[in-house]
A and B are shown apart, each in its own frame.
Chain A
Amino acid sequence: GAGVSQTPSNKVTEKGKYVELRCDPISGHTALYWYRQSLGQGPEFLIYFQGTGAADDSGLPNDRFFAVRPEGSVSTLKIQRTERGDSAVYLCASSLIGGYSDTQYFGPGTRLTVL
């Protein structure tokens, strides 16, 4: 079946604006993860959903960042009052059941540029 998809692939916005990034996981995967990757760095964990609920949001950097997964499938990462430091590639991953032994499959990412 199809892999993880993310839209848009690129997003350019101005400082202070609001953005939404979308992730469509592999069908049937209950676990969904958001990461942020800055240039030259590994992905940084942001939030983990199990079904509709955020099981772990300890990686969200501040209250400008928020994510939802209302029906347990598609997820949206929302960033308010964007700052230039938010510029990065935002990666989404999904896995079948979650947990420490389950393989995470990554989407192509959304490259966010805040001017």
Chain B
Amino acid sequence: QKEVEQNSGPLSVPEGAIASLNCTYSDRGSQSFFWYRQYSGKSPELIMSIYSNGDKEDGRFTAQLNKASQYVSLLIRDSQPSDSATYLCAVIDSGGNDMRFGAGTRLTVKP
């Protein structure tokens, strides 16, 4: 069983729409949750981090965490073509050091 699972996509949304990206994880003791954006051929860059249940908003981005369901999501409001990238969900497990990534969801925002 994969530790961090994401729908690989591709996910396609029109410009201005809300993009919803989902992630589940297997280690119930996981402590920290991250969303990274990775453009093709580039390295991952951090978008959001979340540590406690509920929602966390930063500009057009909202991260949602539900530890009971072992589920974390990322909403992108008013999607722009420049948001087109692969979005990686990452989890630091109960050991506190190792960050485990999902395979990523490829998002395309169409003008």
Residues of A within 8 A of B (CB): 33, 35, 40-45, 48, 55-56, 58-59, 91, 98-101, 103-109
Contact = CB atoms under 8 A, between A and B. Distances in A.
B107 to A, nearest CB: 15
B103 A40 contact: yes
Contacts of A56: 95, 97-98
Name B's interface SS. loop
A48 B101 contact: no
Interface residues of B, number: 24
B103 A44 contact: no
Interface stretch (B11-19, B40-48, B53-61, B64-72): B40-48
A109 B40 CA distance: 13
B83 to A, nearest CB: 18
Interface in B62-110: 88, 90, 92, 95-104
B32 interface: yes
A106 B44 contact: yes
Contacts of A98: 97
A106 B34 CA distance: 14
A63 B8 CA distance: 32
Given A43-B44, A101-B51, 17 more contacts: A35-B101, A40-B8, A42-B4, A42-B88, A42-B101, A42-B102, A42-B103, A43-B88, A43-B101, A48-B97, A56-B95, A58-B98, A101-B31, A101-B32, A106-B43, A108-B43, A109-B43
